[in-house]
Amino acid sequence: MPALSEDAIRKTLSTVEDDYTGQDLVSAGALRGIGIDGDRVAVDLRLEFPASGLADAIAKRAKDALEARPDVSSAVARIDWRVLPRKVQNDLKPHPGIRNIIAVASGKGGVGKSTTAVNLALALAADGARVGLLDADIYGPSIPRMMGVSGQPKTDGKRIVPHEAHGLKVMSMGFLVEEETPMIWRGPMVTSALQQMLGESDWGDLDVMVIDLPPGTGDIQLTLVQKIPVAGAVIVTTPQDIALLDARRALAMFRKLDVAVLGVVENMSTHVCSQCGHEEPLFGTGGGARMAEDFDIPLLGQLPLDIHIREALDAGHPTVVAEPDGTITAAYREFARRTSAQLSLQPRNLKPDLPEILVQNT
């Protein structure tokens, strides 16, 4: 029997597919090293998205595939993960300390965008990522109530210190004004306020920031996306045709602004009866899937309409932290993994974040 070769190991690992990227471990660039000692093999793997809850299962699949070879007596698969900065739109520079910003958007209100953004951020954190959550809905900030935090944020003398809740760093205009105070501001004031919350807050070192954008595709949304370095956008819709029309407009806006659209998530996909558990598609079926197919983007998830989601948010304990082992949380975590995996497939940001050097004659 010929001696084991690295090419043979690569060929075997190319049969092991990551369910979230849709690529095998070799094509995805996850294989970082191979060690061969006679008929024993060790491989080093690295994923580029948060995977604390997945790593062991993927490593086992790699190990099992290798040990299925007749010329391998034993195999070891070591695996870790690391989030890398991805390309942002146009000539914008990534935010210092924040590797990637994901914008959660919708073409219209009432589709559960903020609910989706909150649970996406918490699900990413549950898989090990360092996550921030920025409420960009200046006119209707709901994140403080959903996250169960309130009050003016502190400052360190120079920068705002975001609130921390459920393992996330959180910032919202809702912390700076009374809950029932209307924000009677024009677009430029809104843009300035958001840039201050993003740029003048001490976010620390984050793998991902989730930004809950205001609904719609008007001047405010356009200006925000033009000035914030976004690595990817998630479009939230519900299954009915009216919501899908507006979601398509939101998607078109991001594409015109050269922002990568990571996929669409269909919220309120089915209604779950609180009495008997029966599921029924109140708003129709297949809308999100049709949109994903029409625009050649992934369908990131189909999330239910369930009273427990609303109750958890009203109590300030979103579903992902209130019921970590529940079926709804499982759906949010699958959605988050698909989202972060799609982000990992985007081109890397190769621009070094270096200070500008000014040379003057003296």
pLDDT of residue 148: 95
pLDDT, residue 110, reads 85
Q: What is the CA radius of gyration of the chain?
A: 22
**Domain end point (choices 49, 81, 113):** 81
Tell me the pLDDT band of 181, cut-offs 50, 70 and 90: low
- Looking at the structure, do residues 172 and 255 belong to the same domain, yes or no? yes
Per-residue model confidence (pLDDT) at position 355: 46
Residue 193: predicted pLDDT: 83
pLDDT, residue 165, reads: 96
How many CA atoms lie less than 13 Å away from 38 in the CB half-sphere? 3
Q: Could you give the CA distance from residue 6 to residue 202 in angstroms, rounded to a whole number?
A: 46
Residue 203 clears pLDDT 50, i.e. is over it: yes
298 and 212 in a common domain: yes
C-alpha dihedral, 316 to 321 to 325 to 331, nearest 10°: 80
Q: In the predicted model, what is the mean pLDDT of residues 235-251?
A: 88
Same structural domain, 108 and 46? no
Residue 352 lies in a domain: no
- Domain for residue 266, yes or no? yes
Q: Which is higher by pLDDT, 192 or 113?
A: 113
Helix (H, G, I), strand (E, B) or coil at 78: strand
Q: What is the distance between the alpha carbons of residues 14 and 10, in angstroms, rounded to a whole number? A: 6
pLDDT at 250 over 60: yes
pLDDT value at position 31? 96
| Residue 90 vs residues 66, 225, 351: alpha-carbon distances, Å | 43, 11, 12
> Dihedral through CA 18, CA 23, CA 27, CA 28, nearest 10?
-60
Are residues 273 and 199 both part of a single domain? yes
- The arithmetic mean of pLDDT across residues 109-122, rounded, is 94
pLDDT of residue 356: 44
Query: Do residue 180 and residue 52 come from a single domain?
Result: no
Distances (CA, A) of 335 to 44, 328, 342: 27, 11, 11
pLDDT digits (tens, 9 = 90+) for 23-36: 999 999 999 999 99
User: Do 265 and 149 share a structural domain?
Assistant: yes
Task: Note whether residue 183 is domain-resident.
Answer: yes
Q: Check residue 357 and give its pLDDT.
A: 45
Looking at the predicted structure, is the pLDDT value of residue 90 above 90? no
Mean pLDDT of 107-123: 93
As a whole number, mean pLDDT of residues 166-195 equals 81
Instruction: Provide the pLDDT for residue 26.
Output: 96
In this prediction, residue 158 carries a pLDDT of 84
Q: What is the pLDDT of residues 267-295, one digit of tens each?
A: 998 887 777 877 777 777 788 889 999 99
Q: Residue 361 pLDDT > 80, yes or no?
A: no
Domain of 106: which CATH number?
3.40.50.300
Q: How confident is residue 179, by pLDDT bands cut at 50, 70 and 90?
A: low
Asked if residue 296 lies in contact with residue 259, where contact means CB atoms within 8 angstroms, the answer is: no
Give kind and range of the element (H or E) at residue 158: none
Please check the confidence at residue 360 and state whether its pLDDT lies above 70: no
pLDDT at position 362 is 44
Average pLDDT over residues 159-176: 93
* Range 47-67 average pLDDT: 95
317 lies in some domain: yes
Residue 294 and residue 202 in one domain: yes
CATH at 24: 3.30.300.130
Q: Is residue 91 part of a domain?
A: no
Is 360 part of any domain?
no
Region 80-103: what's the mean pLDDT? 92
Q: How far apart are CA 173 and CA 106, in angstroms?
A: 20
Domain boundary among 36, 54, 81: 81
**CB distance 269 to 100 below 8 Å:** no
Same domain, residue pair 305 and 199: yes
Query: Averaged over 356-361, what is the pLDDT?
Result: 47
Mean pLDDT, the chain, rounded, equals 89
Q: Per the structure, how many domains does the chain have?
A: 2
Q: Which residue blocks in the chain are alpha helix, DSSP H?
A: 6-13, 55-67, 113-126, 143-147, 187-199, 219-227, 241-256, 287-295, 307-314, 319-322, 327-344
Whether 66 and 163 map to the same domain: the answer is no
The two three-digit tokens of residue 259, written as one number: 């922002």
Q: Is-contact 135 174, C-beta < 8 A? A: yes
Percent pLDDT > 70 in the chain is: 94
Pairing of strands 31-37, 40-47: antiparallel
Residues sharing a CB contact under 8 Å with residue 173, sequence separation 6 or more, in sequence order: 135, 138, 141, 183, 193, 197
Q: Are residues 191 and 217 in the same domain?
A: yes
> pLDDT grade, residue 310 (50/70/90)?
very high
What pLDDT does residue 340 have? 97
Residue 183 pLDDT grade (very low, low, confident, very high; cuts 50, 70, 90)? low
Q: What 8-state DSSP symbol labels residue 292?
A: H
Residue 92 lies in a domain: no
Q: What is the pTM of this model?
A: 0.91
Question: In terms of domains, do 262 and 172 share one?
Answer: yes
- At residue 350, does pLDDT exceed 90? no
Whether residue 55 is contained in a domain is answered as yes
- Same structural domain for residues 118 and 233? yes
Domain that holds residue 15: 6-81
